[in-house]
A = this chain, B = another copy of it.
Amino acid sequence: MRKVIHSLKVLENKSAGGDNFTLLLEAPEPLPTITPGQFCEVKVDNDPTVYLRRPFSIHNVDYKSNTITLLIKVLGKGTAKLSGIKEGDALNVVYPLGKGFTISDEPKVLLVGGGCGVAPLLYMARVLNEKGIRPTILVGGRTTVDVPRVEAYKEVGETHVATEDGSLGEKGLVTQHSVFKSHLADFKRIYTCGPEGMMKAVAKAAEALEIPCEVSLENTMACGIGVCLCCVTETKEGHKCVCTEGPVFDSTQLNGWNIDKASTCSKPYLKNE
């Protein structure tokens, strides 16, 4: 898969509720082939406090209109700056990066997302749809605004919601949702993305049932292309780069995830914060 550096044109910057927003970006030439779960590295301009690029999953791809969409949660300086980007502005983006989800022909697929971790699951579901598969999607967050774009998910899969405060869907964590608790064994493939605490719980349950489970990590990155070795995660075979050997890993490959230094998305999700 060829990586490109594009100056993408911002067609739309739309709020997705709470701190979340989507950027619709148009490529200057035909899009490269993009696999669900892959990400891009975005240069944040005009901010003296932001030096490195910022990684974001590719939330949606439309080869026809030659656009990609990002779903971003404002977390700090870079994402705050990006949230103010205007229609017509340009965004320098390196993509597509990393190894995405494995796509099989199994029809019974569960996608589990937490907070802004849902981002890559939309494109994943769409690609599954193209293969005739309608996945079950389970998304969770602390409260309604932490579960962005539920309507979009409903279009591409049977979507269930869990919120900790019960303001949307069932009350509780995704792993406490009735679908997860009672029907997990029905699924042949599980894909999850979100706070590491959640992903670990999902992976554990999946492993107990011997269901293949892929998780998508969000380690901090400097290069995004496998050369700085800053983004490593510990696996059964030693350190692996999340940016090139991931971000998607088979859950059984990983060991010693460090929950509290974990993913950026943990904030809205973990209870005691």
Contacts and interface: CB of A to CB of B under 8 A. Distances in A.
A70 to B, nearest CB: 21
A182 interface: no
A76 interface: no
Interface stretch (A44-52, A147-155, A234-242): A44-52
Interface residues of A, number: 5
A48 B50 CA distance: 8
Interface string A50-63: 11000000000000
A51 B50 CA distance: 14
Nearest to A49: B48
Contacts of A51: 48
Interface string A203-227: 0000000000000000000000000
Q: Which of A48, A50, A51 has the most chain B CB atoms inside 10 A of its CB?
A: A48
Contacts of A46: 46-48
A87 to B, nearest CB: 16
Nearest to A46: B46
Interface in A1-58: 46-48, 50-51
Nearest to A51: B48
A247 to B, nearest CB: 28
A196 to B, nearest CB: 32
A211 B50 CA distance: 54
A126 to B, nearest CB: 36
Contacts of A48: 46-48, 50-51
Interface in A146-187: none
A47 B47 CA distance: 6
A48 B47 CA distance: 6
Interface string A81-102: 0000000000000000000000
A43 to B, nearest CB: 11
Nearest to A48: B48
A238 to B, nearest CB: 37
A33 B47 CA distance: 34
Contacts of A47: 46, 48
A82 to B, nearest CB: 13
7 contacts: A46-B46, A46-B47, A46-B48, A47-B48, A48-B48, A48-B50, A48-B51
Interface of A: 46-48, 50-51
> Which 5 pairs between the two chains have the least Cβ-Cβ distance?
A46-B46, A48-B48, A46-B47, A47-B48, A48-B51
